Structure 1
Amino acid sequence: MNVTVCQSCGMPLTTPAQFGMEADGSTTREYCIYCYKEGKFEQPGISLEGMTEMCTAILKDEGMDEESARSMLRNQLPFLKRWRTNTTDQHANSLTENSAAATHPGQVTTDRSFSTQPIRYVTLPGKRLAGVSARTTNAIEISGKGCIQGLWNNYFASEHLPAPEAARYGCYADYTDGITGEYTILVGHEASSDETLPEGLNDILLPPATYAVFTSRKGPMAEVVGEAWGTVWAWDKQSDRTFTGDFELYDERSLNPESVQVDIYIAVRQTR
């Protein structure tokens, strides 16, 4: 499924009717029809902050908490093509520098050319993750009525946690329609294939896959995770995604919530 997001406002583009239009009448997948018509922006003089406030008002009208919407947009929009500046690129390049020493199993190909590109590609064997899970959609999560934060709270309140230094995962799997449909979110840890899970824990089996890995800078968790997802949404190879299962990895770099560094693994096609 070839789904992109508008490189001006961040809206997912799921149908041709949402695509922007060039001056010659052809469509573009870079921008939505609300931001870009006849080869030019509909709001040519709007600033990044102005776009943030305009989109915040729209999301608020759709039922999302105002501050949650504003925070999400401030994390996402600066990484989109229309708003990328030298300052943004320098900041994103620092993500690469901060994560250079991180190591992961599998074959690694480094790509550090652009701020919104993955730090590297890795091929990993299948794995089993165990934890607490729920079904949700991106629309529900951005509405302010989502379940993800509650799952994290429930997981850490569980009596069946591994050692404190064990890696934690936020896994997104069983997609029904890419980024627009339902998916399962599981918060948990890695489990062996023959491990019997205690009551109350579920599991997800991730198949062997190649992943594009996006690594955040070091900073407060509430900031850096959103920023890292901003680079994912701004990535220009959304059509490479396979939706066989994506995950956030919280390892020893995430023990201090005020100085967290997280990796986001996005499953992609193996042909590169």
Structure 2
Amino acid sequence: MTGKFTRRQALALGGGALAAAATAAPADAASAWIRLPVVTANIGRNNLAAREPAIRDVRSADPGNRPFVGWQEISEGDDGEPAIISSYFGDAFHNAFLYDAEAHRVPISVPQPWNVIARLATKVHGQVGDVSPPRFINEVVLQHNANPALVFTFINTHYIYGAYNGPQEAYRRQYWDLLKQQHRERVMAHNALGRLVIWTADTNNPNYGNATGQPNEQKAFPGDIDRINWLPGNGSVQLNLLSTKVIPMNVDGHNARAAIFRIRSV
């Protein structure tokens, strides 16, 4: 099959049949695989002096390649982290939400040659006493500069602590459950458009399953509270997990997690 149609064949097939036939493109229509490192990194505040080397090590998660990073706890009870991130994730990155007035706690570092073509910060709940700041779900839709067909969504968030770990206080669960509900809604909204979704989060739940309840949602780090998951789209963009690694940070109890993927359009 050549993948090309004469005008007569196109008229005979009709629009719907032609669309179906076009999706059955030959294997050589796929783009080349592109390496895609993804990191989730919660930068705490117990050892402030360790933050800069931790951020430096996140930048070097996949030597020779620029990583995507979903950050948590940025400027949460401490300061200076945006400047450190901007130093190591500079001109070759777009640091979405890093200086946002409200959504800055869960920014996303996007490396060139990926372009942010849409972005959204969803406020899930406000301040909860002295146990939680306002919580947001941040998302960006990304398109590769050299391949407009290579599009996916990256989502990052941070669930309230102490609902399903630590003290496990019942009153906190309404906030955790609300974020889980909206997390699912945001992933599924992009999935309904046919997009691949990759998400990062500190879930604060060691028994966290997945965001959507979909059987094809995949996990790079099952069993951890710090997660990198992905939900395939309509198949026009393919993602394969190649390897994983843990990056010691020595700031508090969190280490960064890195998943090395490859991605292509078909």
TM surpasses 0.5: no
Write 1 or 2 for the structure with the bigger share of helix. 1
Q: Give the TM-score normalised by structure 1.
A: 0.24
The structure with the greater share of residues assigned to strand is 2
What is the TM-score normalised by the length of structure 2? Answer: 0.24
Answer with 1 or 2: which has the greater Rg: 2
